[in-house]
Structure 1
Amino acid sequence: MGTATFIDIIVAILLPPLGVFLKFGCGVEFWICLLLTLFGYIPGIIYAVYVLTK
């Protein structure tokens, strides 16, 4: 796990859709993360960290 991944995870914790957008663009991962964040902040964080670390 490098410094870039660590920074991506920090951004994903603060703003989950932004962290996913910076990594994948406006793809399916971003829309899933945005939807989960709208339903609840914690599910959005969990999904964002999962997607960024897989």
Structure 2
Amino acid sequence: MSKKMKLFKVSFIGFMLLLTGGLLAARSNADVSDPNLGIVEKVIKLQFNGPDKR
């Protein structure tokens, strides 16, 4: 019985490590920068540093 329990524990820990690695990989891919980020930065720069209306 202890051999089966040891196999179960090792399998469970391995599965959890695999699942954790997959979640971390998916999360790191979700942090890809927004394609509109450059446009937003330009608009903000113009809004705060742009020419003043007189």
More helix per residue: 1 or 2?
1
**Smaller-chain TM-score range?**
under 0.3
TM-score by length of 2: 0.27
- Which is bigger in relative contact order (C-alpha 8 A, separation at least 6)? 1
TM-score by length of 1: 0.27
